[in-house]
């Protein structure tokens, strides 16, 4: 599959957005890196939203480098300052290793399943 807007390059990150009980759920698929970071950054933007709450479903993410980590941490801080929160759901494989090795799970609430991330 290619994306004409990416100059024919394979689509490396897709984001599906839904809302469950006032919580924005971002379901990501693919790789999060320097080339796809703007897609994630845009999806996490909640400008003007009071008390924004976001769950990022990482089940289908196959790779995440430091640029993805930096975007998630920046979003976490921005959402917290706006009176909201960010949770990560169901990271596996390489993204889970990156999250745990860097200690991101000690900063951002990280849950094993999407269901757990959507409940308090």
Taking only the tens place, the pLDDT of each residue in 68-119 is 999 999 999 999 999 999 999 999 999 999 999 999 999 999 999 999 999 9
Taking only the tens place, the pLDDT of each residue in 4-20 is 444 555 558 999 999 99
The whole-angstrom separation of Cα 72 and Cα 44 is 8
18 Cβ contact list (under 8 Å, min separation 6): 24, 25, 27
The residue written with tokens 């796809």 in the block is: 36
> Which among 101, 3, 99 has a CA at the least distance from the CA of 111?
99
pTM of the model: 0.89
């Amino acid at each position: 599959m290619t994306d004409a807007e990416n100059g024919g390059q394979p689509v490396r990150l897709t984001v599906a957005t839904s809302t469950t009980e006032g919580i924005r759920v971002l379901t990501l698929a693919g790789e999060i890196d320097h080339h796809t970071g703007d897609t994630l950054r845009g999806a996490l933007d909640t400008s003007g939203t009071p008390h924004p709450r976001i769950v990022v479903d990482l089940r289908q993410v196959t790779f995440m480098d430091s640029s993805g980590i930096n975007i998630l941490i920046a979003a976490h801080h921005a959402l917290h300052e706006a009176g909201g929160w960010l949770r990560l759901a169901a990271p596996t494989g390489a993204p889970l290793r990156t999250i745990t090795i860097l200690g991101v799970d000690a900063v951002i609430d990280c849950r094993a399943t999407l269901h757990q991330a959507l409940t308090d």
